[in-house]
Amino acid sequence: MTPPLSASGLDLEPAPSGVRRRHSARWVAGVVLVVGAALVTLLATRPPQAATEVDTPLLGQRAPAIAGTTVTGASFDLSTLRGRWVVVNFFASWCPPCQQEQPDLVAFDYAHRTPGDTALVGVVFDDAASSARAFMRSTGAAWPAVVDPDGQIALQYGVRGPPETFIVAPDGTVVAHFDGPMTGSGLDYWLARAQRGTP
């Protein structure tokens, strides 16, 4: 039998099982605390969610029509942009990823203002026109945003939830589809790729 040990040299009885259990509980609690803190740190410092290119049956197909009224009351028809590259962005003012991508879209739009350059078109997804208009105005967005009160434009594009973005070629076919918040550099990259004809 192992003799009992003590720092003072006195023989002590082994710790009762209740004390050992309390020590184990402290260890477990400590480990859980450290793991929890690590997870919180990881989630708080990870880079913001980015858009991913996702498949859609519309790829290579004629882009469905987008015609109607914009949030400012002007009329709009996508077919008038035939011959230009078009970025169609489905968004809502209540959607955090849309708020995240908005500064990038504003910068992208500003960089492509020359006549004949890529056009940006918004489609309001499940949102009031007034909320969308206020959102556009507060972020300095100047591109047309078409209201879609009954969701039929979103349905024609197979949109599941905002933000979703489509790139439409000058001949009117859909060449790319993205789910999630876009970045300006990402848009430029995918546009350049589409313009080169790289699949």
Partner 1 sequence: MIARRLPDAGRWALWVVLLVVVGVALGVGASRPGPPLTAVQRAQSIDAQVRCPSCEDISVADSSASTAQAIRQLVVARVRAGQSDQQIDAFLVSRYGPGILLRPPDTGVTAWVWVLPPVAVAAAVAGLASALWRRRGAAAPAVSEDDRALVDRALAQRAAAAGAGTGDTPAGPRGAGSVVAP
Question: Where do contacts with partner 1 occur on this chain (CB under 8 A)?
Answer: 55-58, 61, 125-126, 150-152, 154-161
Least CB distance to partner 1 at residue 43 (A): 22
Least CB distance to partner 1 at residue 41 (A): 30
* Choice between 108 and 157, CB closer to partner 1: 157
- DSSP string of 130-175, one letter each residue: HHHHHHHHHHT--S-EE--TTSHHHHHTT--SS-EEEEE-TTSBEE
* Among 72, 64, 81, 73, residue whose Cα is nearest residue 170: 81
Least CB distance to partner 1 at residue 25 (A): 38
Structure token digits, residue 20: 């050992």
* Choice between 90 and 108, CB closer to partner 1: 90
* Choice between 69 and 156, CB closer to partner 1: 156
Give yes or no for a contact between 157 and 64, defined as CB atoms under 8 angstroms apart: yes
Q: How far apart are the first and last CA of the chain?
A: 75
Least CB distance to partner 1 at residue 148 (A): 9
CA separation for the pair 174, 99 (Å, rounded)? 25
* Choice between 146 and 191, CB closer to partner 1: 146
Contacts of 15 (CB under 8 A, 6+ apart): none
Least CB distance to partner 1 at residue 125 (A): 8
* Choice between 24 and 61, CB closer to partner 1: 61
